[in-house]
Structure formats: C-alpha cells, structure tokens
Amino acid sequence: MSHATITRIINQLLEQGLVLEGSHGKSTGGRRPIYLHIDHSKLYVAAVKLLRDDCLAALLDLKGRILVIEQLQPTSLSPEILLPAVADSLREMFNSLSIKQEHIIGVGVAASGMCHPVEGTVLRSLNLGWKDIPVADSLGQELGLPVLLENDANACALSELWLGNAKETANSMFIKTETGVGVGIISDQKLLTGSRFVTGEIGHVPVIPDGKLCRCGQRGCLESYVYFKPIQEHYQKITGQNLTHAKFIELVRTGDPFATEIVQETAEALALACAHWGIILDVEVISIGGIWGKLGHEVLDYCQKYYDSILEQSAIPSNVRVTGSSFDDVADLLGAAGLVVSHWFTPAAVPFTK
C-alpha cells in the first residue's frame, strides 16, 4: 500500500476511535514517528460454550477480559431451539451494554464433540446428541456476525497457549476431564487437528489392563477413571448425600478412604496418559482441566513425578510441567474468543516477490 493509502485508513480508524496515538518514537532522519495502538476496549468478541450441562455465553474485549457472562438455561438441546436461544442471549447482552453490532468482530463457539472448524459444523457430538449441525451458519445468520467453531478441548488448549500456562511454549496439551475426556494438542504453537478432526480422542483408549468397567463396554479406559458422575452417584447411594466438588476435595484432604482410593486410581490413569501422549508429542506443558486438575498434591504432583521418572529412565532432560487449568470453567470461552481474535489479527502471509 502507498503511504497515502495507509494514512487515509489510519485517519478513518482514528476518527472511529478504534486506533489510538501513543508516544513518539526516535527519528530516523525525518519527522519523529508516532506509535499507533488498537484500542482494545472499543472492539468486542462474543464467546459461547456448548456442553450438555453447561452452556455459557460471554462478551469479551480484545484482551480476553470477560465483560459479561451468562449461564444459559436452554429448554432443549435441539439445535433448532438452542441456537436461536443463544443468539437471543447474545443480542440482549450487546443491548444491555449499548454495544453497536459493528464493534463486535465475531463470535467464537466451543462445542463438545467432533467439529469441522473450516465448515463451522459439529460433525458428531454424543454429549449434545448432534450430527452434522451447521452451527456457524445458523448462528451467523441469526446474528449477522461471523462465527468460528472449535471443539471444546481444543478451545481450552488454545486458551492456555494464548493466555495461560502454555503462553511461552511451542508444544502443549490440555486434558479436559470430568464430563468425559477430551484432549487439545498444540504443536509448534498451532492446534493439531488431524485429517478427520479426531486428534486427542483418547478417552476410550484403555490405559489400565483389566481396569474399571467403562460405559463404552471396555475396561480401563481413561474416561472410566475421570468421569465424575458415577462417583457422585455411588457416593449418593452409600451415604444419601450429594457429592459436590468442594465436598470431594475436602474428603480427599481429610484422608477419607473412599475418596483416597478413587483419587489414587485416577491419578495413576492420568499419569499414564500424560506420559504416553506427552512424550509422543514432546510437549512442554500439560494442563489438566476439571476437578482432577484442582487436586494439586494428589493428582498433579503424582503425574509430574511419574512423568519425570520416565524421562529420567529414558535419559531425556526433564522440563515438562504438569499443571491445572489456568481458567477453570471459562477456559472454553477464552479459547473460543481467541479464535476470533486470531482470525482477524494474525497477519496473513505476504507473497514474496523479488
């Protein structure tokens, strides 16, 4: 672009308040340059998390600060009902903050299941009971905004890459637990999707020989150890009480035999998964989401020690960190919002001409 074209565009952005003038730089001969900044508080991104028991919608600024968040209470998971309800909630959110539609650069959606990010389609989701649902098209038409879609575990992995534990690293992995297992893998700072978008579907690969019976019919799947609902149901049956996260963590901390046994089994299964997959992918950071990632000493330290011991046996320098999720329940939303920001602000490759 010519100097005049750039000046004209920048003047328009300055008039709209989207770009701010900053300090003066050093002169390289002519006039001192003025640094220009994007005003991160003038443009917004909407984000949506779609899981069977957990639907959230939020509005964020470009730095990933959540301005407003709402737990959605859908009357049905049917996409014909759920997606228009999501659009209504987002519209109300924009109106309540008096935000103009043209200042929203897009909507990022993190959904449970296999997602086609280019077509914006949920190919298959057991969790939502969906097959071939064009989420990006449907929601995009409702709102008149561009919509980007990604699998929920992938979105969580991106949240760590962009804003969390994996910020300074090239290769990392996010293991989403609790409602099942999903793994998002970052390789060379990019999401690894595979040719059929099923990278990281390790939930039903058995890790413990003759282990716990899984709902899929096999024994020893990682999912059978991290799925929290059967543990809650079992506890309810033997004690008549509801097992919340806080209650479970308290039981673990006070050495309750029921909770201790469960945590040990789960830590062992997660340690195997971390070591197998982490070493194959040569990751630097593994983040574990869900309740198991909140048990620092019992789960994270156990996985870390197991991983380190294997690296030592293999004579590989140990610099891998096993940690909990940086953002808990909003990790999916931050990753989804990041998809939109990245889509607009990652510079496209410039063709090289001599």
Q: Could you list the residues that contact Zn ion (CB under 5 A)? A: 204, 214, 216, 218, 221
Q: Which long-range CB contacts under 8 A does 128-135 form with residues at least 24 apart?
A: 128/50, 128/51, 128/52, 128/77, 129/77, 130/77, 130/79, 133/79, 135/50, 135/79, 135/83, 135/109, 135/111
Instruction: For residue 54, report the phi and psi dihedrals to the nearest 5 degrees.
Output: -155, 95
Shortest Cβ distance from residue 269 to Zn ion (Å)? 12
- Closest CB to Zn ion among residues 206, 293: 206
Shortest Cβ distance from residue 222 to Zn ion (Å)? 8
- Closest CB to Zn ion among residues 99, 221: 221
| Cα gap 183→288, rounded to integer Å | 9
Shortest Cβ distance from residue 268 to Zn ion (Å)? 17
304: which residues sit within 8 A by CB, 6+ positions away? 320, 321, 322
Which residues on adjacent β-strands are paired with residue 288? 175, 324
Shortest Cβ distance from residue 112 to Zn ion (Å)? 16
Shortest Cβ distance from residue 223 to Zn ion (Å)? 5
Beta-strand runs (E) in the chain: 19-24, 34-38, 44-51, 54-61, 66-72, 104-111, 114-116, 121-125, 130-133, 147-151, 172-176, 182-187, 190-191, 285-288, 321-324
Q: Is 7 exposed, middle or buried (0-12, 13-18, 19+ CB in 10 A)?
A: exposed
- Closest CB to Zn ion among residues 222, 281: 222
- Closest CB to Zn ion among residues 218, 264: 218
Shortest Cβ distance from residue 221 to Zn ion (Å)? 3
- Closest CB to Zn ion among residues 81, 126: 126
Least Cα distance to 273 among 221, 197, 325, 209 occurs for 221
- Closest CB to Zn ion among residues 148, 269: 269
**C-beta separation of 136 from 107 below 8 A:** no
CA distances to 3, 18, 36, 89, 177 from 10, in Å: 11, 9, 9, 34, 46
Shortest Cβ distance from residue 211 to Zn ion (Å)? 10
- Closest CB to Zn ion among residues 116, 212: 212
Shortest Cβ distance from residue 217 to Zn ion (Å)? 7
**C-beta separation of 290 from 176 below 8 A:** yes
Two tokens, residue 327: 């953002």
- Closest CB to Zn ion among residues 209, 317: 209
Shortest Cβ distance from residue 206 to Zn ion (Å)? 7
**How distant is the alpha carbon of residue 328 from its chain centre?**
10
For tokens 């059929």, what's the residue? 196
- Closest CB to Zn ion among residues 169, 218: 218
